[in-house]
């Protein structure tokens, strides 16, 4: 059985790992990057509290010595279901079973100016770009004599009140009170604001009311200006336009407001559902296909009675779907009945700042906040990293950050785009 997996995020990597050393099964994982990374912690890379290597790991090193697993660097261009093959930008691959685990990409809701000028928060590249942009703007502000221009350089607007938006806002609020004041004495008492904008009536919409209220209170105490029932409608000439008619002058619009799945040539249009997610049956087989599957954020399954509108696009769904599909591939090889996917909600959480977090557990229904919730958040995220190396490195960085309330990772490192290649 030749299985090709497109995408090496939570869903894809867990599917591949579960099929390790399975006789009769050969797995090829295809990804446009040569590394797996841990999305819940990219905001810590973006704010220079973790190195990129702490939350990422090369696929080839991870697959080394695993005889039935192999990696292919490539970008998917087209699927040819009639021939059981895919077309990549650098070649072709044949398959017996094809699995889409491509996750989701940033959605700008059709706002081209926002897409062009905002800072997204979805990939590791986005995180590094955000770190560089914020640090460069701080350096510009340190020598800027125009007060209005300096305020634009220092003001940060975060669009999206989900976990990423909350975590980024809280982190920058704490950095503003400590690190920025120490390291940028040139800024003096220049006023700067951090805005968190969300279109809904509450932050962390999927979480409990208690978590929403605790989060709003904690962010407000940190000095974050939270504006609910408000949407960003445009971003032009350093001006963020809001649905309320207000405007905010800033050079830093961080976009964490929405995601959508991707559409691929060769997959029938009728196979897509809400949010461009591939509609699947109980076993994650894409509707209208024979041997193509979708797991994680890129799929929507409407057959789970506990989630009639589809599962949330969170890591636990992706992980569980990957493991369930792996078990079904094993059962296929022995002609045994397949297991329908049923999501086991283990809870949700978000970190707000130092010693501040919220955690909701569904069974039994419990809510935690503050230091204990913060410890739970640290533990769960630490053990979820892909390798022991990542866990040790991240734990070490966190300990330094906790006791020093700082990190020494604020370097602006980027390639010189103006340098031309030698003709030699």
Active centre residues (catalytic): 167
Q: What is the rounded CA–CA span in Å between residue 346 and residue 363?
A: 8
Q: Quick one: which of 297, 231, 232 has its CA closest to 259?
A: 297
Q: In the beta sheet, which residues pair with residue 31?
A: 73
- Burial 30-40, CB ≥16 within 10 A → b, else e: bbebebbbbbb
Torsional sign, CA 271, 277, 278, 284: negative
Peptide bond into 364 cis (omega under 30): yes
Spell out the alpha helix ranges (H) of 294-369: 315-333
Q: Quick one: which of 371, 367, 365 has its CA closest to 351?
A: 371
Place of tokens 């490192």: 413
Instruction: Write out the E strands in 131-286.
Output: 156-159, 194-197, 224-227, 232-236, 239-242, 247-249, 252-255, 259-260, 278-280
CA atoms within 13 A on the CB side of 12: 29
Measured in whole angstroms, the distance separating CA 261 from the mean position of its chain's CA atoms is: 13
C-beta neighbour count of 238 within 10 angstroms: 16
DSSP state of 162: S
Q: In the beta sheet, which residues pair with residue 35?
A: 58
DSSP state of 284: S
Q: What is the rounded CA–CA span in Å between residue 189 and residue 185?
A: 9
Q: What is the rounded CA–CA span in Å between residue 132 and residue 412?
A: 5
Query: Residues 6 or more apart from 377 whose CB is under 8 A from it?
Result: 349, 350, 351, 357, 359
| C-alpha distance from residue 76 to each of 86, 262, 308, 318 (Å) | 7, 11, 31, 20
Q: What is the rounded CA–CA span in Å between residue 11 and residue 315?
A: 8
Region of residue 199 (phi > 0: left; psi between -120 and 50: alpha; otherwise: beta): alpha
DSSP state of 156: E
């Amino acid at each position: 059985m030749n299985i090709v997996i497109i995408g090496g995020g939570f869903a894809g990597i867990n599917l591949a790992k579960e099929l390790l050393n399975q006789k009769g099964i050969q797995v090829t994982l295809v990804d446009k990057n040569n590394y797996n990374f841990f999305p819940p912690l990219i905001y810590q890379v973006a704010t220079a509290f973790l190195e990129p290597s702490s939350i990422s790991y090369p696929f080839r090193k991870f697959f080394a010595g695993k005889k039935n697993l192999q990696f292919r660097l490539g970008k998917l261009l087209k699927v040819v279901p009639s021939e059981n093959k895919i077309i990549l930008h650098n070649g072709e691959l044949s398959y017996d079973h094809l699995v889409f685990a491509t996750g989701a990409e940033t959605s700008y809701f059709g706002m081209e100016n926002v897409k062009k000028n905002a800072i997204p928060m979805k990939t590791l590249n986005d995180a590094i770009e955000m770190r560089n942009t914020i640090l460069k703007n701080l350096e510009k502000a340190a020598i800027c004599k125009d007060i209005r221009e300096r305020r634009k350089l220092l003001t940060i607007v975060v669009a999206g009140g989900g976990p990423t938006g909350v975590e980024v806002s809280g982190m920058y609020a704490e950095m503003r009170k400590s690190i920025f004041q120490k390291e940028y004495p040139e800024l003096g008492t220049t006023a700067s604001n951090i805005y968190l904008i969300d279109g809904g009536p509450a932050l962390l919409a999927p979480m409990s009311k208690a978590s929403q209220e605790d989060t709003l209170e904690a962010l407000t105490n940190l000095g974050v200006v939270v504006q609910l029932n408000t949407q960003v409608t445009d971003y032009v000439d350093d001006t963020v336009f809001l649905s309320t008619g207000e405007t905010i002058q800033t050079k830093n619009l961080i976009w964490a407001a929405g995601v959508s799945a991707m559409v691929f040539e060769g997959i029938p249009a009728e196979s897509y559902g809400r949010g461009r997610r591939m509609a699947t049956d109980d076993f994650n087989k894409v509707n209208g296909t024979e041997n193509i599957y979708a797991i994680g954020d890129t799929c929507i399954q409407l057959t789970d009675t506990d989630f009639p509108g589809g599962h949330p696009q969170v890591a636990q769904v992706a992980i569980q779907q990957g493991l369930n599909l792996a078990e079904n591939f094993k059962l296929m090889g022995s002609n045994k009945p397949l297991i329908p996917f049923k999501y086991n909600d283990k809870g949700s959480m978000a970190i707000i700042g130092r010693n501040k977090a919220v955690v909701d557990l569904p069974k039994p229904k419990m809510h935690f906040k503050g230091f204990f919730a913060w410890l739970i958040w640290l533990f769960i995220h630490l053990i979820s990293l892909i390798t022991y190396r990542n866990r040790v490195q991240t734990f070490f960085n966190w300990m330094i950050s906790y006791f020093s309330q700082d990190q020494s990772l604020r370097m602006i490192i980027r390639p010189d785009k103006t340098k031309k290649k030698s003709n030699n």
